[in-house]
Structure 1
Amino acid sequence: MFLVGNLLNGIGVVLDTVLYVYMIIIIISALISWVNPDPNNPIVRFLRSATEPVYRPIRKFLAEKLGFRSMIDISPIIAILATLFLKEVVVQSIFDLAHRMK
Structure 2
Amino acid sequence: MQSLLILIDSVVTLIVWTLILQVIMSWLIAFNIVNTHNRFIWQINYALHKLTSPLLSPIQQILPNLGGIDISPIILIIVLHFARNILFEFFLGSPY
TM-score by length of 1: 0.73
Q: Which amino acid aligns with 1:42?
A: Q
The RMSD of aligned alpha carbons is 1.7
Gapped regions of structure 2 (runs ≥ 5): 30-34
Which runs of 4 or more aligned residues in structure 1 lie more than 6 Å from their structure 2 counterparts after TM superposition?
A: none
Which residue of structure 1 lines up, in the alignment, with residue 74 of structure 2? 77
Q: Deviations over 1:2-59 (max 9, x none)?
A: xxxxxx1100000101101110111111111112152862221111111111111101
Residue-by-residue CA offset, 1:60-101 (whole Å, 9 max, x unaligned)? 011xxxxx21120000110111111111112342334xxxxx
Relative contact order, higher structure (CA 8 A, sep 6+): 1
Listed as ranges, the gaps of 5+ residues in structure 1 are 1-7, 63-67, 97-102
Distance in 1, Cα, partners of 2:91 & 2:46 = 33
User: Could you say which residue in structure 1 is the equivalent of 2:3?
Assistant: 10
**Using the alignment, how far apart are the partners of 2:8 and 2:69 within structure 1?**
30
Equivalent of residue 38 in structure 1, options 14, 36, 39: 36
Percent sequence identity over aligned pairs: 25
* Aligned CA distance change for structure 1 residues 94 and 49 (closer, same or farther; 3 Å): farther
